C-alpha cells in the first residue's frame, strides 16, 4: 500500500516532466486496476494525456477498471478511431455498464462506433431491467455441442478464447437450450477422444434472466461457482454471469442496505465522488420525514405537561428511556434485515423469529430494568443527589421492561412485514423503529406514572 | 425456490418410509450445497442416517457445505474408517475451517485420522492468526517450474488436478519463491512447445500470509482475479486464497459491520442457529453501556428543571431534537464507516471528508431548521393548538441547525478517529453517536433557551 503511494508520486512527477517514455514503462509494469486508481486521482487533462501513451490492449484493460466520470472525459477526448479501438478491447458487459451511466450524446457515439452485430447484442443487454441477472450478464461465453470430442472442444476453446471473458466453464447447448456444462478441468482430465455428452454435468444450476441480481449473487456464495448460465423463459441460454460481477453485486447490496438502514437514499457513486448537493438530497428527505413524525411525541408530552410539573424528575429519564428503546429495537431490526438479505431468514421462519425475539426481549427487558433500577439508586440518588422516590424508580424500571420488550418485537416484525409486501426490509431499521418506539415508550411511561404515582 | 420446498418434503417423506434407494437417487440429483441445506433442517438422527446412504465422493462435497453443528454430529457418529474417507474427500482449507470450530476431542480424532503429511499441513495452517490471509488459504495449488514446456505443464496439471482446489491459475516458483503466474487460458493459447518462462505473467499480485483477510477479499473485488497467491516474509509461496472464500469474507465482514453498527457483538453463527442466551449476551452489554451513558442527559435536564417548569412547552420538543440529531449523525457515520470498509475513504482523505460533511451539515441543518419552524407554526400551533411562542420557535429552530451541524461532524469524525487508533470504525455508529449527540443537543437547547427566553 505504501509502495503504491510512492508509485503514484513518481507517475505524477514523470507526467509533469513530460517523461512519457519512462511513464509508459512504469505504468505498464502495474496492474491495470492500479493504473485506473492512479488515473482517478489525476485531473481531466492529465488523464487524457496519460491514457494515450498506454499500449492499446493495456489501455483497454485500464479503461474497464476506470470510474464512469473519467470514462466520460476520455470518450469525449477520443477520435472515432480511438473510441473504436478501446471498444474492441472491452468485454461486452463492461461496455454495457458504461453505456448505462453515460449521457445520451456519449451513448450515441459509442453505439455508432460498434459494428452492427455487437450493437445488436448491446441493445439486447440494455433491455433487461436494471436489477436483473440479464443486466449483469455477458454474452461472451463458450458454447459446445454434445457430439464434440474433447480434442474438438479444446480447438474451439483455443479459437474463441481471446474473445471470451471466461473459458473455464463451457456450456453445452442443443437448439440453444442449455443441456449441460463442462469445465476445462473435466476436459483436461478426460481422454482426448471422449465425447462431451459422456463427461458433461447435466445437473446444471442456472438462473432466469429476470431473476433479481442479488439472488443470483447469493447463489455464487452458496454454490461456490465461477460463473452461472442465464436462460430465457424457454430455458435457452442467453448469457452468463461471472463471479467478479457477482462479488460487486454483493458489495453494492451491502452498501445499499447499510445506507438505507441509516436513513439515506442510496446511490452507486463513491462518497468522495458525490457532490455536496447530491449527498444533501440523499439524506434530507428522511431527516425531514422522521422529524415530522416526532410530532406525535410532542403531542403526548404536551398532554402530560401538568403531570410532569408535579413530578419534574420524570422528565430527566425521557432521553434514557427513548434511547434504550431505540437501541433495543435497532438491534432486532438489524439482525432480521441482515438475515433476510443473506437468505438465512425466510418468510416461513416468521414464527421462529418471533418466538426467539420474544424470549430475548424478555431477558433484555428484565436485565435493563434491574440495571436501570440500580443505576438510579446508586448513581442518580447517591452520587448525584437527584432524589428519585422509590415509586418513581418503579415507574422507570417498569417502563424499561415494557419498552425494550415492545421495541424488540416491533424491530423484528416490521422488516419481515416489509419483505412480505415486497418492500425493502432495510428501510425498517433503527431510525424508523426509533420513531415508533419513542411514541410507544412515552405512552408506557405516562401510563405507569398515572397508575403508580396517582396522577 | 418453490421446487426446493417440494424436494425437501419428498426427501423427508422418503426418509421416514426408509425408502433409502429412492432417497439416494433423489439426493444425488441435487447440488451438494442444496443437500447440505436440506440436512440442516433434519434432526441429528435423520442426518446420520441420510448421510450414510450417499456415495462417498458426493458425501464429501455435501459435508464441506454443511454447518459446523451438523458436522460435529456426523463426526461423532462416524467410525474412524468413515471419518478417514470423508477427510480424504475434503479440501484442506475446509478441513481446517471445521477443525477451528470443533471441541478439542473432535479435533484430536480428526488429526488422528489424517496421514502425517496432511496433519503437518493442517498444523501449519492452524498457526496463522484468525483474521489473516493464512487462515483462509489452501495449500492445494499447482506449482510449475519456469523451464517446463506447455505440454509438460498440461501433463502435470492433469496428474495433480484431482487434488487441487483450482487449477486455472498455476504458480511458477524458483526455490519456492513466487516468480510468476500462468493461467490455463494462457497455456491453451500457447504452442505446446512453448516454455513457461516465455508466457508467464511476472507482474504478480500477491498477499503476505499475515495480511488482514478483509484487505485480501477487497483485492479480489479490485483486481477481478479467481485466486491470489499467499507468500511468507521471504516471498516464498505458502498457499493460495480462492475467490469463493474471498466472497464469504466479504459477506461476513458486511454482516459484522451491520451488527456492530446496531450495537451488537457479532458472531459467525446464523441467527436461527444461535441460542436465546447467546443472542442476549451479544446484545445486552451495549444496551447497558448506552443506557448508563444516558446519565448525562439526565443530569442536564435535572439542572434545567426550573426553567422547564416556566416554559413547559420546551419539554415537548426534546424527543424531536434528540431524534433528529441522532439521525443526522447516524447518516454521516454510516457513510464514512462504509467508505472506510470499502477502501473508498483512506486516512489521508480526512480533510476532504470533513470539508464535504461540513457543507452537507450546513445545508441539512438549515433545511431541517426551516422545516421545523414551519412545522411548529402550521402543525403544532395551528392544528394542535400547542401555543408555542415565536421566541420558543426560534430556540427550537436554532437548536436544530446547530445540533444537525455538530451531529454530522461528530458522526463523520469518530469513525475516522477510531480507524486511526486501530479500532473498528463500525462501533462509532448510530447508537454511540446518538448518545453523544443527545447530550450535545440538550446543551445547545438550554443554551439558546437561556439566551433567548431570558431564563
pLDDT of residue A318: 92
φ, ψ of residue B214 in degrees (nearest 5) = -70, -40
Instruction: Please count the other Cβ atoms lying within 10 Å of the Cβ belonging to residue A127.
Output: 11
Share of chain B above pLDDT 90, in %: 49
pLDDT over 90 (residue A203): no
* CATH code of residue B445: 1.10.357.20
Find cell 485500464 and name the residue. A62
- Write out pLDDT tens, residues A210-232: 999 999 999 998 898 999 999 99
Q: Is the pLDDT reported for residue B346 higher than 60?
A: yes
What CATH number does the domain containing A85 carry? 1.25.60.10
Examine the pLDDT at A384 and tell me if it is beyond 60: yes
What is the distance in angstroms between the Cα of B80 and the nearest Cα belonging to chain A? 29
Residues in a beta bridge with A230? A207, A239
What's the CA gap between A342 and A131, in Å, rounded?
A: 17
Contact A53, A20 (CB under 8 A): yes
pLDDT at A138: 87
- Residue B428: pLDDT over 70: yes
Whether the per-residue pLDDT at B1 is higher than 60: the answer is: no
Residues A226 and A308 in one domain: no
> Considering the domain boundaries, does residue A358 fall inside one?
yes
A88 and A122 assigned to the same domain: yes
Residue A295 in this model has a pLDDT that exceeds 90: no
**For B261-273, what is each residue's pLDDT tens digit?**
998 988 878 888 8
**Can you read off the three cell numbers belonging to residue B379?**
402543525
Q: Is A262 close to B331, i.e. CB distance below 8 A?
A: yes
> How far apart are the C-alpha atoms of A436 and A430, rounded to whole Å?
10
Nearest of A278, A276, A212, A277 to residue A246 by alpha carbon:
A212
Q: Averaged over A77-97, what is the pLDDT?
A: 86
Q: For chain B, give the mean pLDDT.
A: 89
The minimal CB distance from B263 to the residues A30, A318, A331 is found for A331
pLDDT band at B411 (very low <50, low <70, confident <90, very high): very high
User: C-alpha cell of B171?
Assistant: 504458480
Both B170 and B50 in one domain: the answer is no
CB count in 10 Å sphere of residue A252:
16
Residue-wise pLDDT tens digits, A43-72? 888 999 999 999 888 898 899 888 888 888
Is B134 among the domain residues?
no
Question: What does the pLDDT read at residue B107?
Answer: 85
Q: For residue A414, is pLDDT > 90? A: yes
Chain A: nearest CA to B331, how far in angstroms? 5
Percent of chain B past pLDDT 70, that is, above it, reads 100
Q: From the CB of residue B331, how many other CB atoms can be counted at a distance below 10 Å? A: 31
For the record, the C-alpha cell of A380 comes out as: 442518580
Nearest to B287 among A168, A250, A328 (CB): A328
Model confidence at A1, pLDDT cuts 50, 70, 90, reads very low
Do A312 and A242 lie in one domain? The reply is no
Domain boundary among B127, B154, B172: B127
At A171-180, the pLDDT tens digits run 999 988 999 9
State the pLDDT at residue B304: 87
Interface of B with A in 154-193 (CB under 8 A): 154, 157-158, 161-162, 167-168, 184-185, 188-189
Say yes or no: A304 and A442 in one domain. Answer: yes
Q: Which domain holds residue A235?
A: 143-251
Local structure of A106: helix, strand or coil: helix
Whether residues B35 and B147 share a domain: the answer is no
Residues A276-289, mean pLDDT to the nearest whole number: 92
The verdict on A441 and A304 lying in the same domain is yes
In a domain, B265, yes or no: no
The pLDDT assigned to A2 comes to 53
The reply to whether residue B363 touches residue A257, judged by beta carbons under 8 angstroms, is no
Residue A147 CB: number of other CB atoms within 10 A? 11
Residue that terminates a domain, selected from B127, B158, B181: B127
Inspect the interface and report whether the beta carbons of A302 and B316 lie closer than 8 Å. Answer: yes
Whether the CB of B226 is below 8 Å from some CB of chain A: the reply is: yes
Nearest residue to A258 via CA among B335, B414, B353, B413: B335
- What average pLDDT score do residues B198-218 get? 92
Torsion sign (Cα): A419, A421, A426, A429: negative
Q: Does residue A263 lie in a domain region?
A: no
Name every residue whose Cβ is closer than 8 Å to that of residue A29 and which is 6 or more positions away in sequence.
Answer: B203
* Yes or no, beta carbons of B247 and A243 under 8 Å apart: yes
Whether ipTM exceeds 0.90: no
Q: Is the pLDDT of residue A344 over 90?
A: no
Residue A264 falls inside a structural domain: no
Distances, alpha carbon B2 to alpha carbons A23, A47, A217, A359, B6, in Å: 57, 51, 19, 31, 7
Residue B161 predicted with pLDDT over 80 = no
Q: Which residues of B touch A352 (CB under 8 A)?
A: 272
Phi and psi at residue A304, to the nearest 5°: -110, 20
The maximal CA–CA distance of chain A, rounded, in angstroms, is 95
Cell output for B427 = 462501533
- Residues B101 and B221 placed together within one structural domain of the fold: no
Between CA A414 and CA A357 the distance in angstroms is 13
User: Using an 8 Å Cβ cutoff, are B263 and B432 in contact?
Assistant: yes
Residue A277 counted as domain residue: no
The reply to whether B10 and B77 lie within a common domain is yes
What percentage of chain A reaches a pLDDT higher than 90? 49
Query: Which CATH number covers residue B209?
Result: 3.10.580.10
Residues A304, A206 within the same domain:
no
Task: Suggest the residue from A302, A376, A381 to mutate for an interface test with chain B (most B CBs closer than 10 A).
Answer: A302
A260 assigned to some structural domain? no
Q: Is position A269 within any domain?
A: no
What grid cell was written down for B409? Answer: 461532524
Across the interface, whether the CB atoms of A319 and B263 are under 8 A apart is answered: no
Are B283 and A364 inside 8 Å of each other by CB? yes
Residue B214 shares a structural domain with residue B173: yes
What is the number of domains present in chain A?
A: 3
Q: Which residues contact B253 (CB under 8 A, 6 or more apart)?
A: B214, B217, B341
Same domain for A28 and A111, yes or no, is: yes
Boundary-marking domain end, from A83, A102, A127: A127
Distance CA(A233)–CA(A5), nearest Å, equals 50
Write the pLDDT tens digit of every residue in B135-145: 888 888 899 99
- Cβ(B367)–Cβ(A286) below 8 Å: no
Q: How many helices (H) and strands (E) does chain A have?
A: 24, 6
Find the farthest-apart pair of alpha carbons in chain B and give their distance in angstroms, rounded.
95
Residue with cell 487449477: B167
Averaged confidence pLDDT in chain A: 89
- Per residue in B59-82, pLDDT (tens digit) is 988 998 888 888 888 998 898 888
Q: Is the whole model's pTM more than 0.90, yes or no?
A: no
Amino acid at each position: 500500500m505504501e509502495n503504491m503511494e510512492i508509485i503514484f508520486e513518481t507517475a505524477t512527477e514523470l507526467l509533469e516532466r513530460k517523461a512519457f517514455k519512462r511513464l509508459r514503462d512504469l505504468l505498464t509494469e502495474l496492474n491495470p486496476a492500479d493504473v485506473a486508481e492512479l488515473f482517478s486521482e489525476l485531473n481531466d487533462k492529465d488523464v487524457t494525456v496519460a491514457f494515450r501513451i498506454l499500449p492499446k490492449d493495456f489501455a483497454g484493460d485500464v479503461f474497464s477498471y476506470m470510474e464512469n466520470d473519467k470514462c466520460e472525459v476520455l470518450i469525449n477526448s477520443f477520435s472515432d478511431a480511438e473510441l473504436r479501438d478501446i471498444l474492441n478491447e472491452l468485454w461486452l458487459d463492461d461496455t454495457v455498464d458504461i453505456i448505462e451511466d453515460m449521457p445520451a450524446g456519449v451513448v450515441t457515439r459509442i453505439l455508432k462506433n460498434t459494428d452492427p452485430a455487437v450493437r445488436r447484442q448491446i441493445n439486447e443487454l440494455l433491455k433487461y431491467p436494471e436489477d436483473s441477472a440479464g443486466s449483469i450478464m455477458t454474452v461472451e461465453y463458450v458454447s459446445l455441442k454434445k457430439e464434440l470430442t474433447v480434442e474438438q472442444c479444446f480447438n474451439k476453446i483455443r479459437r474463441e478464447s481471446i474473445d471470451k471473458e471466461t473459458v473455464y466453464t463451457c456450456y453445452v447447448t442443443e437448439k440453444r437450450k442449455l443441456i449441460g456444462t463442462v469445465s476445462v478441468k473435466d476436459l483436461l482430465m478426460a481422454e482426448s477422444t471422449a465425447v462431451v455428452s459422456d463427461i458433461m454435468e447435466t445437473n446444471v444450476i442456472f438462473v432466469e434472466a429476470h431473476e433479481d441480481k442479488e439472488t443470483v449473487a447469493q447463489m455464487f456464495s452458496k454454490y461456490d461457482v465461477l460463473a452461472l448460465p442465464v436462460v430465457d423463459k424457454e430455458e435457452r441460454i442467453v448469457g452468463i454471469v461471472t463471479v467478479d460481477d457477482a462479488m460487486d453485486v454483493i458489495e453494492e447490496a451491502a452498501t445499499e442496505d447499510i445506507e438505507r438502514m441509516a436513513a439515506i437514499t442510496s446511490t452507486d457513486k463513491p462518497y468522495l465522488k458525490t457532490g455536496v448537493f447530491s449527498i444533501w438530497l440523499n439524506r434530507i428527505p428522511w431527516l425531514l420525514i422522521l422529524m415530522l413524525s416526532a410530532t406525535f411525541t410532542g403531542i403526548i408530552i404536551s398532554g402530560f405537561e401538568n403531570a410532569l410539573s408535579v413530578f419534574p424528575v420524570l422528565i430527566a429519564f425521557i432521553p434514557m428511556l427513548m434511547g434504550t428503546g431505540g437501541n433495543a429495537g435497532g438491534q432486532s431490526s438489524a439482525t432480521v434485515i441482515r438475515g433476510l438479505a443473506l437468505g438465512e431468514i425466510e418468510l416461513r421462519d416468521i414464527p421462529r423469529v418471533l418466538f426467539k425475539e420474544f424470549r430475548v426481549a424478555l431477558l433484555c427487558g428484565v436485565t435493563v430494568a434491574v440495571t436501570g433500577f440500580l443505576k438510579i439508586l446508586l448513581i442518580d440518588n447517591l452520587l448525584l443527589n437527584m432524589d428519585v422516590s422509590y415509586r418513581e424508580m418503579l415507574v422507570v424500571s417498569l417502563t424499561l421492561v415494557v419498552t425494550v420488550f415492545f421495541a424488540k418485537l416491533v424491530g423484528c416484525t416490521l422488516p419481515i412485514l416489509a419483505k412480505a409486501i415486497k418492500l425493502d426490509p432495510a428501510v425498517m431499521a433503527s431510525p424508523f423503529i426509533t420513531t415508533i418506539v419513542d411514541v410507544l415508550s412515552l405512552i408506557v411511561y405516562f401510563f405507569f406514572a398515572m397508575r403508580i404515582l396517582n396522577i
